[in-house]
Structure formats: structure tokens, C-alpha cells
Amino acid sequence: MAFAKSNRLPVGAIQCDNTTMSLLKANDYVAKSIRDKMAAQKTLLINITSSAGSGKTTLMQETARRLKDKFKLAVLVGDLETERDAIRIREAGIPSTQIVTNGVCHLEAQMVLQAFDHLDVSGLDLLFVENVGNLVCPAAFDLGEDYRVTLLASTEGDDKPKKYPRMFLTSELMLISKADLLPYIPFKVEAAVQDAREVNPEIECITISSTSGEGIDEWCNWLTERIQQKKAEVAQAVEMA
Ligand SMILES: Nc1nc2c(ncn2[C@@H]2O[C@H](COP(=O)(O)OP(=O)(O)OP(=O)(O)O)[C@@H](O)[C@H]2O)c(=O)[nH]1
Ligand SMILES: [Mg+2]
């Protein structure tokens, strides 16, 4: 199957019905207002997605520990129930607010916008949104992010990029997580990367472990470059206006 990145839909895909389309259009409208707000304050917004339990919150904790003295960071975190992830992230030393979706399997832009009433996002260099753990529905909802980063844990199997293509098609970076477990399980990094690139030839890939620290410097460098790039781009746009 061929994939087109421009409209974030596989070529030849069946369009959803009108009700779903208007829901997604309304979401895109709110996502644009989030994108404009983040541009105005030069905040990089990253949407972190994955299946449940792939290591998103652990990575947020590790990233907080490494970057909190260099940049102003915060995390909005979505889950069906409980405030557990936000508590874990706050324990790592940065602000975090939990969005409880009450059973909804993804975050929508309106939920993120409403959460800004509970989390001070002014002056942030980087805002992460940790999405609900699910490789399906979160792929369809733009949250106004600059980049979508998807974790694929070694324990999930290397076949997932082709089975859940839309998430990998719409992501700029795939993090192969839990690399410390690779010696014990039949996960082939090259196979996962090849499948992800057949879905999305532009996707970048980094192999990481929050446990051993493998790849975490590369991840933090990737973030640092993009924080600086965003500030430079916004400053240039203001100058030209
Ligand atoms: N071996 C290993 N375990 C990890 C690593 N990162 C996270 N874990 C473990 O994986 C489990 C799930 O980690 P979380 O960070 O809660 O995963 P999550 O993606 O935030 O989960 P949800 O928010 O429920 O979707 C926890 O028991 C972590 O300790 C890693 O790099 N290596
Ligand atoms: Mg989590």
C-alpha cells in the first residue's frame, strides 16, 4: 500500500463519514489556535505517542532530569483514569498536569487547550503532550504539535509500523524504546526501521533505553536542536513581518 504524507491519509483510503469528518475539522481548527499560541511564545510542542506501557512517562522523567536546568519544560499527560503519570513527572522536577479522558482513547486539541487553564505554559521552551497509550486513535488528532514522536518498545514486536501505519506515517521520529531488553527478545531493529521507512521515508529513528541510558543523549540533542530551530524560525518570521 502506498502512503501520502501530505494529507496524513493512506492513498486510496476510505474517507470516514460526515460526522467524523466534521469532528476532525473542528479538531484541526482548535489545533491551529494552539499552534499559533505556541509560535507566539516560541514554545516547541511535541506530541508523544505509543502503545500503552512503551515507556513514554519514564522517558519524560528521564528527559526532565537531563534538560530541566537548561530549558523550561512541562508535560501535559493524558490517561483514561488516574493522575499517576503527572505525579511521576512532577517528582522528576518539572510541572505536569493530568488530562483524565474518562474512557476516551486519545487526546483531542480541545482537551489540550482546556488544560492550559491548569498548567502555566507561558515562557516554556518545550511542552510535551504525552498522549493516551494507543497506536490507533491518537494518530487521527492533530494537537497543534510541531513534531509527533512515537515510541515502539522492543517488547511490542518489530512488525508494528506496517500494522499501525498511520501513526508512523504521521510521526517525524520513531524511538525504539527498551533497548536494554533487545538481547533477550526476537526484535530486529533493522526490520522495524525498514518497515517504518517504507510507510514514511522521512521518519527519523533513534534506539533508546531509559534504563541503561542508551540513545538518551541523542534524543536530548534532537530536542535541543529543535528548540533552538523553533526560536530562530519564529524570530525570523517576526523580523520579516
Ligand atoms: N526495561 C525497561 N523498562 C522500561 C523502560 N522504560 C520504561 N520501562 C518500564 O515499562 C513500564 C511502562 O513504562 P511507562 O513509562 O509507564 O510507559 P507509558 O508508555 O507511559 O505507559 P502508559 O502511559 O500507561 O501508556 C514501567 O514498568 C517502566 O519501568 C526501559 O527503557 N527499559
Ligand atoms: Mg504514561
Indicate the domain borders of the chain.
19-240
Q: What is the mean pLDDT of residues 129-153?
A: 97
Candidates 120, 193, 208; CA nearest to 161 is 193
Who has greater pLDDT, 238 or 65? 65
Q: How confident is the model at residue 7 (pLDDT cuts 50, 70, 90)?
A: very low
- Whether residue 43 is predicted with pLDDT greater than 70 in this model: the reply is yes
Q: Whose CA is nearest to atom 6 of ligand 1?
A: 55
Ligand 1 centroid to Cα of residue 234, in Å, is 34
Strands 96-100 vs 73-79: parallel, antiparallel or unpaired: parallel
Closest of 154, 165, 135 to residue 51, by C-alpha: 135
Testing ligand 1's pocket by substitution, the residue of 51, 54, 57, 58 carrying the most ligand atoms inside 8 A of its CB is: 58
Which residues, chain by chain, have CB under 5 Å from ion ligand 2? Answer: 56-57, 85
CATH class of 19-240: alpha beta
pLDDT above 60: residue 63: yes
Predicted pLDDT of residue 25: 87
Question: What was the pLDDT predicted at 214?
Answer: 98
